[in-house]
Structure 1
Amino acid sequence: MHIRESDVENAVNRYRCMLSAVESSHTQSLRLAFTKQLAEVLLRGLTGILYFPPNPASKSTKKSQTNVTESPWKPKQYTGINLFVPTIDYEEIILLLLISEAMAVRDTVLSQAPEFEEARIKALENAKTIYDLLAVAVVRWGQVSVLNEMFERAMKFSFEEKHVWMQHAFCLVAMGRYFHALAVLKEVKRLMPKSTMPCLIGARMCYEYLESPKEGVEWSTEALERAKTHEPHLVSRCYLYQGIGYHLQAEPMYVRHEKEALHSKALNALTKAVENDPYDHLTEYYLALHLACAQKIKEATVHARKALSLQQEHAPSLQLVILLLTAQKQHGEAAELLELALEEYPDDLNLIYLKAHLQLYCEGGEAALVTAKKLLSIWKSKYEEQTAVDTTDMSDKRSDTRSAFHFYTSEMSDKDSSSLHAQSIAASRVEHALSEVASSLSSFTPRPGPQRAWLLQVQIWLLLAEIYMEMEEMHWAASCIQEATAIYPLSHQVMFMKGLLHENKGEYHDARQWFQNAVAINPTHVKSLQHLGLIQHYLGCQKLAEKTLRDAARIDPNSYITWYNLGKVLESLGEHEGATDCLLTALDVENRSPILPFTMIPLTFE
């Protein structure tokens, strides 16, 4: 009655009064209903500043004798000095739901016998309602581990119950336990044979977290088969996920016929996605990205602008258009669009990183240095609090999954090593490379907090080092590299940057050693191969330089630096015709090369 009259305060007080009454065996079902209803009322309209805690003062005025009440018809109340009284909305809501869950689990029926079916269904419905409320409550305050404990207890009485299994999978994803979540999703997929959603979620996890695009394509293909039969409105999204999987498989592939086959499959799937839903900005964006990676710049620009027109605030589309403008050497327009994008997203680290490189190319080191320092200050404001304290493994994973920024780029992440085919590198080379950093490892311990945040800082230090080297400030560049080494000494990118520093100093033997170390750890790191080949050329090892640069060209034929260096080597070998072809190829590739690889844009599903 109080709620119907919009008198929420008196309604809540009435609920609290009833729940503080001494429990009896006849009131257990009522208590379960009341705790659940009070939690719903608090969640719906009494959180934050609207919340008022229970007032135990009225109870303290009662007489100390427990057998004295105002009326024999009023129930006895729980009293005592050790009673827990919630003081904030979070405490009371979670307490109510935990009590509800304990009572609901106690009432569950484990027997699958037909005579207990009605009782089993009723108890399960009560438990499911409580789990849904718990999901709303704990996710709001970031306490997903509490919910996970509930679902683990619920598994024993949730046989063939698809809703509970699906919620459990979502909970595991939120906690960062992706392999476990994928296993649960396989069970959900079996329980929901007509639903496309579990398959799409599984595919997204494979792409975004598990770095398993091949398995993601399998999930997407099954989703497509289901969508065609039962959910035709999701056919476009299924084709999109399938295309993303083929695209991710194609990028690290350097066996030519396999790469071309995957590119063809990706293009076919993404084209069908656009045809089935021409007003989805995500399908247009991924088709544009795929065309851009295939060096079809003009076609990619058309689709990227279409994606931007469909969703003007889509940050990845903005980044793609900016990179396409730089590929067409329209750096002024790219800079203008970049400034407009930064007005909308002033703290976007991807955009600021791109701005630093664009300034380094167009304006020089001074302007780029200011931007890179701003990048470091933004990192501190976003991540320093997380990394300053020693967090548990669980909070580490949760922080990683909730990170607002993913630093994905072929220069800035280890994505380029996610599909290593060159496993024939001798173990002795790896051991030799690791021995170079043994002194660092002797005192190396992982930094506290989310490791992704530390990897971001490594990339920022390496960017600063690159800028200082362009400004010929080798001392400051060495200091930045040292900061990166202290965080992650085994990074092939850190080793590459050390080699680049020695190369700029003219110390070619030391430079060659560091480039070899980088290649030993990541055989497909193109920049290390490019500079290793160049150093071998400087040291007079022309045949070895040619072999190294041809390997780099085989891995990434769209890098003009590789072709230019190979042309220089062939010229020194007296192969003038081959050198001319390489230099002409370098000019052609350079005319359509962006300021940064298109793969710098983070994977997005929104």
Structure 2
Amino acid sequence: VLDWQPEHEGQRERSHQAAYNILALLSIFLSRKQAFHIIADSYEQALRFSFEHFQTWFNYGLSLISSGQSFRAYLIFKECLRMQPKNLQVCLQLAKIILEYIYDFPSLFETFPSSGEDGQPLLKQTLNQQQYYLNQHEQRPRFIDLIDEAIDYCQQAKDLDNPPFARSLLLLAIAKSFKARQTSIHHDRQALFHSAIIDLRESIELDPYDSIAHFHLAHNLSFLNQTQEALKSIETCLLLSPDDKYALHLYTLLLTAQKQMPEAYAQIYRATNDYPDINLLLTKAGIEEELYGCEQSIITCKEALRIWKNEYQPILTNNLPYLRDTSHSSGGNRPSSRSQNPSVNLETDGEQILSSQQGTLKVEDGIKNLFLFGFRPFASLINDDNPLRNNPSPTQFFSVQPIYFSLLQIFEHLVRYYIKLDKIDESERCVKEISSLSPLCHQMFYMRGLINDARGQLKLAKLNYNDALAINPYHFPTLIQLTKLLIQIGNYSLAEKYARDAISIQPSNYQPWYLLSLSMEARGEYEQSVDVGATAVHLEEDSPIVSYHSIIRVL
């Protein structure tokens, strides 16, 4: 196979085809065992005799996706595109990887440090560590550049379609929608949403039974506050796919935007019974706050905590050796070869489940990029018996740990509900419970600010909010709370500035518009205040209980 002399070309082709067929059969067998890391290793070894062989490179990229190594798959598919520039499937795979894996984080702007060390040295250490990884491994483009790249790939696929292909239009619309959510200029944002809606409607004309296209059409219409049309689209989606939890979630939010709270609660109650999902439960808690008070919401948040513990704690505890190898592996998120080969009994023909199925090979549950730059185990967030809690690791990046993001979201809701019940001590206990998780992340400063605000310690609360915004200038709840506090202490000009910042992030949310009108009124700008207040009233009529940004979905 490695002999490239011209007289051996025929023999080389036959040997290569035989080796490729054996590798394909091995891949079929190992995929049934979910041993995707072994498949990826096999294809990586096959590359030495597969120079410019497209199918081997393409299958290697697919195996990398299945094994959770999304960025390496992205690089491999770019090489495949170089080999075959007009291959529709490669263009769509590249766009899908960018949108579904690299971009798949709970917050659009989070690349923040997380450790218990002092703030300023920590920031320098974090930036140095980030630069070290970027110098040692592949350069990772910025998210907005990646989205533009995904749009280009989708546009290439659309141009290659003859006749048009519905999935190309769908991915193009999703990419435009993602870009619109990061665009602060109102005109550009609206234009991107309208363009995405046009592509989605064209996709639905080509494939009227695609429930995902109907979902994204409803989602984009929701961002434009076209609630009635969004309801029609989401109802069509539910007719085609009644068990789609994302569609059920969006349908609930649209019902709350219509102020049909009992119907929305009935819908979310059924959805959480069928799908014990954390995001669904937090939405349910928000509706319960409106209907039954904060006590019932706290019960729902505790249920979300139990779900988090049951779902993620086994993954964290089973993956300690794997995580240790991953944090020092080459290529950023590529596991080391020792941790890739679980015990698979190749002599058995039965449908054996891998011993580490819930550990190293359980990558299909949406935690693809969890261990990008290293990992600090925190399996004892609820159970204090784990000694790892008292041994924090070096600086981490919080943005690559979506498990912890969900956990902080739950505690953030608990803190707010306890404060509304005047149980300040309980809310402070919640903050102390997770303080060792990430004491310098913006959510921790935000929660401390809420507690100090409730106690009347306004200067300290203002300091906490400013610290949170210094870490993440795009954290919408912090901007809202800081604006309220500044209006309370009489700093109206600065309050107006933060209200405008919040509007640039979520222009369809009525809260920053209302606060902006209050600050303008206090400064004597009565005519402008009336206009802005009217905008706030108009937006409040179609405002959901939870922002539509809480639903993140690609395919």
> Smaller-chain TM-score range?
0.7 to 0.9
- After superposition, give the CA deviation of every residue in 1:240-295 in whole Å (9 maximum; x if it has no partner): 00000000000121112322332232122212111221121111111110010111
Amino acid at match of 1:377: R
Aligned twin of 1:420: none
Measured at CA, do residues 513 and 444 of structure 1 come closer, stay the same or move farther in structure 2, by a change above 3 Å? farther
Measured at CA, do residues 124 and 406 of structure 1 come closer, stay the same or move farther in structure 2, by a change above 3 Å? closer
Percentage of identical aligned residues: 29
129, 133, 138: which one aligns with 2:25: 133
Aligned twin of 2:161: 227
1:393-432 mapped onto 2 (5 Å cutoff)? 393=323, 402=363, 404=365
Whether the 8 Å CA contact 2:227–2:542 is kept in 1: the answer is: yes
Measured at CA, do residues 541 and 448 of structure 1 come closer, stay the same or move farther in structure 2, by a change above 3 Å? closer
Local SS of the residue matching 2:172: helix
308, 316, 326: which one aligns with 1:379: 308
Whether the 8 Å CA contact 2:99–2:554 is kept in 1: the answer is: no
Aligned twin of 2:286: 357
Aligned twin of 2:231: 301
Q: Higher relative contact order by CA 8 Å / sep ≥ 6: 1 or 2? A: 2
Aligned twin of 1:595: 545
243, 266, 273: which one aligns with 2:203: 273
Aligned residues: 461
1:406 positional shift: 7.0
Aligned twin of 1:61: none
Measured at CA, do residues 401 and 304 of structure 1 come closer, stay the same or move farther in structure 2, by a change above 3 Å? farther
Measured at CA, do residues 586 and 544 of structure 1 come closer, stay the same or move farther in structure 2, by a change above 3 Å? same
Local SS of the residue matching 2:225: coil
1:179 positional shift: 2.4
Q: What RMSD, in angstroms, separates the aligned Cα atoms of the two structures?
A: 2.7
483, 505, 526: which one aligns with 1:555: 505
Whether the 8 Å CA contact 1:461–1:483 is kept in 2: the answer is: no
Whether the 8 Å CA contact 1:502–1:508 is kept in 2: the answer is: yes
Local SS of the residue matching 1:487: coil
1:15-164 mapped onto 2 (5 Å cutoff)? 109-164=1-56
1:341-356 mapped onto 2 (5 Å cutoff)? 341-345=271-275, 347-356=276-285
Local SS of the residue matching 1:209: helix
Aligned twin of 2:99: 207
Amino acid at match of 1:123: S
Asked if 1:478 corresponds to 2:428, the answer is yes
Whether the 8 Å CA contact 2:219–2:250 is kept in 1: the answer is: yes
- After superposition, give the CA deviation of every residue in 1:55-105 in whole Å (9 maximum; x if it has no partner): xxxxxxxxxxxxxxxxxxxxxxxxxxxxxxxxxxxxxxxxxxxxxxxxxxx
Give structure 1 stretches of 5+ with no counterpart. Answer: 1-108, 409-439
Amino acid at match of 1:202: L
Distance 1:155 1:198 in 2: 18
Amino acid at match of 1:360: E
- The structure whose Rg is larger is 1
Local SS of the residue matching 2:182: coil
Asked if 1:570 corresponds to 2:481, the answer is no
- After superposition, give the CA deviation of every residue in 1:508-535 in whole Å (9 maximum; x if it has no partner): 1111111111111222222222221221
TM (norm. structure 1) is 0.71
1:150 positional shift: 1.9
Aligned twin of 1:60: none
Measured at CA, do residues 404 and 172 of structure 1 come closer, stay the same or move farther in structure 2, by a change above 3 Å? closer
Asked if 1:317 corresponds to 2:247, the answer is yes
TM (norm. structure 2) is 0.78
Local SS of the residue matching 2:411: helix
Aligned twin of 1:368: 297
Distance 1:126 1:407 in 2: 33
Give structure 2 stretches of 5+ with no counterpart. Answer: 104-145, 328-332, 336-359, 370-388
1:157 positional shift: 0.9
Whether the 8 Å CA contact 2:154–2:171 is kept in 1: the answer is: yes
1:302 positional shift: 0.8
- After superposition, give the CA deviation of every residue in 1:346-394 in whole Å (9 maximum; x if it has no partner): x222222211121122211111111111111111111111223524246
468, 480, 488: which one aligns with 1:518: 468
Measured at CA, do residues 552 and 589 of structure 1 come closer, stay the same or move farther in structure 2, by a change above 3 Å? same
Aligned twin of 2:152: 218
Whether the 8 Å CA contact 2:65–2:73 is kept in 1: the answer is: yes
Amino acid at match of 2:147: P
Measured at CA, do residues 242 and 117 of structure 1 come closer, stay the same or move farther in structure 2, by a change above 3 Å? same
Local SS of the residue matching 2:165: helix
